[in-house]
């Protein structure tokens, strides 16, 4: 029952993201709206982390399975992709490296901010 409750919370937040995507005429995917809403709810305590933690972990564990249909779709579209495979591959590699670099930099910044904050709190005690 716990997992059904947690999954329902995640689905409701995702549905709200879909609703916002329909109502707000911006080129933002509904999943991004849902993720931002979930982040805000978790940060403000509207949704406590324990209310979605276990199901969230499960979804992260099965995430690789979610890429299989997309990969099969690419294989089925090989006839269309064959003439442009080199540019698509180059764009994919460049953007992947750029996203990894940006994510690493942002993570390093967040870790450093946390370390400075912990150091300041330790000095105040």
pTM for the whole thing?
A: 0.65
Query: What pLDDT score does 119 carry?
Result: 75
Task: Estimate to the nearest angstrom the gap between the alpha carbon of 118 and the chain centroid.
Answer: 27
- Indicate if the pLDDT at residue 121 is higher than 80: no
In tens, the pLDDT along 69-89 reads: 988 998 899 899 899 999 999
The torsion defined by the Cα of 59, 65, 70 and 74, in degrees rounded to 10, comes to: 160
Angle at 99 between CA 97 and CA 100, to 5 degrees: 65
Helix (H, G, I), strand (E, B) or coil at 119: helix
pLDDT digits (tens, 9 = 90+) for 84-107: 999 999 999 999 999 999 999 999
Whole-number Cα distances in Å, 65 to 9, 13, 14, 69, 78 = 22, 22, 19, 8, 21
Structure tokens belonging to residue 83: 């003439």
């Amino acid at each position: 029952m716990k997992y059904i409750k947690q999954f329902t919370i995640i689905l409701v937040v995702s549905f709200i993201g879909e609703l916002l995507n329909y109502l707000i005429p911006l080129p933002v995917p509904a999943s991004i709206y849902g993720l931002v809403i979930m982040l805000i709810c978790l940060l403000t305590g509207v949704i406590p982390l324990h209310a979605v933690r276990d199901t969230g972990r499960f979804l992260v564990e099965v995430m690789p399975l979610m890429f299989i249909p997309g990969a099969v779709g690419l294989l089925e579209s090989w006839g269309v992709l064959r003439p442009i495979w080199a540019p698509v591959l180059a764009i994919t590699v460049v953007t992947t490296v750029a996203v990894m670099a940006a994510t690493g930099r942002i993570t390093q910044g967040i870790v450093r901010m946390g370390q400075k904050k912990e150091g300041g709190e330790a000095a105040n005690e």
